[in-house]
Amino acid sequence: MRAPQSRTEGGIGERWKSEREEGGTVSVPVIASVGTAHPPGTDQQELWEKFFSRHYSGPTRALAQRIFANSGVSRRQAAVNPLLEDVSDWPTERRMRRYQVEALPLGKEAVGRALTAAGLAAGDIGLFVVCSCTGYATPGLDILLARDLGMAASTQRMFVGHMGCYAAMPGLGAAGDFVTARGRPALLLCAELTSLHLQPSSARVDTQQIVSHALFSDAAVAAAVVPGGRGYALREVSAVTDTSTADHMTWDVTDTGFRMGLSPKVPQVLSNHVQSLVHDLLARHGTSASGVDGWAVHPGGPRILNVVERELSLSPTALATSRQTLDQHGNCSSPTVLLILDRLIRAAPSARRVVMLAFGPGLTLYAALLERTA
């Protein structure tokens, strides 16, 4: 989908331009729209029966079957579907070339939808932030998409790499800071192709790799952040990192793609920090968990959601949207929390306060508070 090349009459692009020309100050960053894009979907059970049941052998197969069955995922998407194309023995160079081929159209579709929904043209964007940890190339997605979509030569760009599942949060923070400081729209894109990093088959028991194969999926999600207007104001982004557990979640570049390391101790580390992170964030804005209408929590897996629910004393339905997203889309790394936000605000458009939570390497926990502006 190609973005519009002229501003919508009376839309956001015209408003911020006229206000700046008149010397007005617009300082509140607002998420005006979210645009999503997915490659073709595949049934989780079909993936198991027709590929992964043969990918593993010996005692590993029975373990893998249990992990797939208890993953909380029933359907996910793949730009490179192992039922059609087995990339497990591909060298990293070949995977990186394929990344660019698949990520560009997916990113363009998500960006186009976000711009259209916000009433923006590509030339309105002052800062373009791109998050991805599943592929690298120079020129990167930020440059190639800015060129193909018709962004201005003066558009600033920022690439956020290797932050993993929480990357959307610092990306949103940077976009929000730019909007506050410059009074111009910013655009965030998170694009991940985890399907490119299928690892070679092995008879060796490697629980961490099995979990990775059972959970991860592909997606691209874009969010338009504008100065004021209707949407969700980004009140604050905060974080905490426990560097003593840095080895609990890793993403290593190998000769056969990027390999995930995922310790079973991750939920315990989250349980040590998530309560104070969220409570302190909300207290700074004069509220508490009971005053939150919607929760967009990154579903690293079912256990992660259970820990968050328990530690924050949430109702059994509070994380329903996060569980639905995991069920229908798997863990898409950085785009996932934005997928949940999009689903949440569509299902509950009257929600006033929303908390976003995401977790990743570090171990790092990120939280953001959003408030509906109109």
Strands (E), 38-132: 41-43, 75-77, 127-131
The DSSP secondary-structure symbol of 198 reads: P
Neighbours of 335 (CB within 10 A): 32
Q: Could you give the angle at the alpha carbon of 146 between the alpha carbons of 128 and 180, nearest 5°? A: 20
Selected catalytic residue, list 131, 165, 190, 332 = 165
Neighbours of 312 (CB within 10 A): 19
Q: Which amino acid is at 315?
A: S
The DSSP secondary-structure symbol of 201 reads: P
Among candidate residues 325, 345, 312, 157, the one with its CA nearest the CA of residue 233:
345
Q: Residue 67 has which token pair?
A: 């992990």
Q: At what angle do helices 141-149 and 92-118 cross, to 10 degrees?
A: 40
Is 165 designated active site? yes
Q: Residue 70 has which token pair?
A: 């208890």
Q: Cα separation of 193 and 172, whole Å?
A: 20
Q: Known catalytic residues? A: 165
